Amino acid sequence: MKIVVAGTGYVGLVTGVCLAERGGHHIVCVDVNSEKISMLKSGISPIYEDGLEELIKKNNDLNRIEFTSDFESAYGDADAVFIAVGTPERSDGSANLDYLKSAAKTIAENAKKDILVIIKSTVPIGTNEQIEKYINKHKKENIRIEVASNPEFLAQGSAVRDTFEATRIVIGVESEWAKEILLDIYKNFDNHKLVTNRNSAEMIKYASNDFLALKISYMNDIANLCEIVGADIEDVALGMSFDNRIGSNFLNAGVGYGGSCFPKDTKALHWLSNSNGYELKTIKAAIEVNEIQKLKLAKKSSDFVESFNNLKVAILGLTYKPGTDDLREAPSIVNIRYLLERGAKVVAFDPVGIDNAKKIFGDTIAYVNDIDSAILDAEMCFIMTEWEVIKNYDVSNYKKLMKRPLVFDGRNCYKISEMKDNGIEYYSIGR
Ligand code: UDX
């Protein structure tokens, strides 16, 4: 089969490259951004993702994958097309489907034979059906076009591994024809496959992401209570984790969840629910807890200084989690804004996120390439991302290099006793 993947963002690119790597079909990745396409043609990945670039090069060389901006020829004789464009958040919390509709329209206008359109993007329940009607209204040929849902569950930083080792491949279809095509596409993937209807597939994606967000907010809520009653969230989480009904993942309290999925998907499901006349109280609470948690340490820090004006503050970690250069919805952003509004001089360190941080903060903050330079003469330090280089840092340097060794750790990177022994004023989460 000839399979086209529309959109070369995290989801589209990783999907296309992993399908090519497993073999069996010819893959064509299309994107409106011709700059990205020429990078990909020469084997360069536009995103930082472990193992991805090697696979792009290898499958390019083997002619198992092509990259193009020529939609007409890409869709003309395709058997299936994955849509993996963004569905960003609107200001009211709902999902913006403009990119999806535009991709759907281009497919409708260019497809010349029967084609299965597979939506990978996270979309509100009912969207697959809506897009199917929309495409059929705009199609130019008398061909069969159906839409199927195939949500993705990959996390940034481990996207390639998550795709190959997917815990499940969810296939949401309304016909045997669509089901057979999707099973054929994934014939070389030995992962658990769940076939259901489209609305359920769409819901599985939101319900999974929102459950994880809920789990994190629950742990952050409990962590805040731990501080008040004198318990230690690290031990509490460990104690909970032995119960395999709870599991050991996503129990880390911190400065809240960020990224391109949880913040958007919690708000989108809450909005969708409200617009159907039902309030999802649990998800509303998860969103509220997260908003408060993001600024928890910055607010606490104001008790330690008369004023932030001209105070040198170090920020260690800018990305929303380790292993990615992405800052979308990162807790660091609201914290830096909070500090800048109060006149602080912010110096930031991140192993890979600085280029993206510059797009947000420009020259309003200073950027350095190592921890020593960030904390030198600083009067306060915030840890926003648990990068290994930060966790393995020699903590005695906080005392040696900072003007005042005052560390607010939003990711519980260090042992309290170690910080105390080194004469550091240390505040973390839930301990
Ligand atoms: C997430 C889902 O994991 C993935 O399945 C889905 O397809 C897309 O959304 P991603 O946003 O890339 O992936 O990263 P993830 O590792 O899930 O982390 C999201 C946020 O939660 C990060 O800000 C992280 O720091 C935070 N987090 C995660 C916690 O605060 N505590 C935890 O225990 C786990």
53 touches 44 (CB < 8 A) = yes
Task: Give the atom of ligand 1 at the shortest distance from the alpha carbon of 220.
Answer: 30
Q: Which residue has the least CA distance to atom 14 on ligand 1?
A: 155
What letter does residue 423 receive in the DSSP assignment? T
- 264 and 392 fall within a common domain: no
Number of domains composing the chain: 3
179 touches 195 (CB < 8 A) = yes
| Residue after which a domain boundary falls, among 196, 231, 265 | 196
Which pLDDT belongs to residue 426? Answer: 98
- 138 and 64 fall within a common domain: yes
- 191 and 42 fall within a common domain: yes
4 touches 185 (CB < 8 A) = no
Per-residue pLDDT tens digits of the chain, which is 431 residues long: 999 999 999 999 999 999 999 989 999 999 999 999 999 999 999 988 889 999 999 999 999 999 999 999 999 999 999 999 999 989 998 889 999 999 999 999 999 999 999 999 999 999 999 999 999 999 999 999 999 999 999 998 899 999 999 999 999 999 999 999 999 999 999 999 999 999 999 999 999 999 999 999 999 999 999 999 999 999 999 999 999 999 999 999 999 999 999 999 999 999 999 999 999 999 999 999 999 999 999 999 999 999 999 999 999 999 999 988 999 999 999 999 999 999 999 999 999 999 999 999 999 999 999 999 999 999 999 999 999 999 999 999 999 999 999 999 999 999 999 999 999 999 999 99
- 188 and 177 fall within a common domain: yes
Task: Give the atom of ligand 1 at the shortest distance from the alpha carbon of 158.
Answer: 12
Q: Which two tokens stand for residue 90?
A: 């609107």
Query: What CATH number should be reported for the domain holding residue 137?
Result: 3.40.50.720
- 21 and 133 fall within a common domain: yes
| Residue after which a domain boundary falls, among 160, 175, 196 | 196
Which pLDDT belongs to residue 95? Answer: 87
Ligand 1 centroid–CA 149 distance in Å is 22
- 135 and 184 fall within a common domain: yes
Ligand 1 centroid–CA 128 distance in Å is 25
Strand partners, 148: 118
What ipTM was estimated for this complex? 0.98
Distance CA 178, CA 270 (A): 30
323 lines ligand 1 (CB under 6 A): no
153 lines ligand 1 (CB under 6 A): yes
Q: Which residue has the least CA distance to atom 22 on ligand 1?
A: 257
Q: Which two tokens stand for residue 338?
A: 């909070």
Which pLDDT belongs to residue 135? Answer: 96
Angle at 171 between CA 167 and CA 176, to 5 degrees: 145
- 332 and 264 fall within a common domain: no
- 211 and 140 fall within a common domain: no
Which pLDDT belongs to residue 330? Answer: 98
Which positions make up the binding site?
31, 36, 87, 122, 205, 250-254, 258, 264, 321, 328
Please identify every residue annotated as catalytic.
261
209 lines ligand 1 (CB under 6 A): yes
Distance CA 106, CA 164 (A): 30
**Residue type at 47 in one-letter notation:** I
257 lines ligand 1 (CB under 6 A): yes
Task: Give the atom of ligand 1 at the shortest distance from the alpha carbon of 256.
Answer: 30
Q: Which two tokens stand for residue 363?
A: 């020259």
- 76 and 187 fall within a common domain: yes
Query: What CATH number should be reported for the domain holding residue 235?
Result: 1.10.1040.10
Q: Which residue has the least CA distance to atom 10 on ligand 1?
A: 155
Task: Give the atom of ligand 1 at the shortest distance from the alpha carbon of 254.
Answer: 30
**Max Cα distance, the chain (Å):** 76
236 lines ligand 1 (CB under 6 A): no
Distance CA 76, CA 71 (A): 8
- 410 and 282 fall within a common domain: no
The owner of tokens 């195939």 is 150
204 lines ligand 1 (CB under 6 A): no
Q: DSSP 3-state assignment of 405?
A: coil
**Owning domain of residue 284:** 204-294
- 179 and 319 fall within a common domain: no
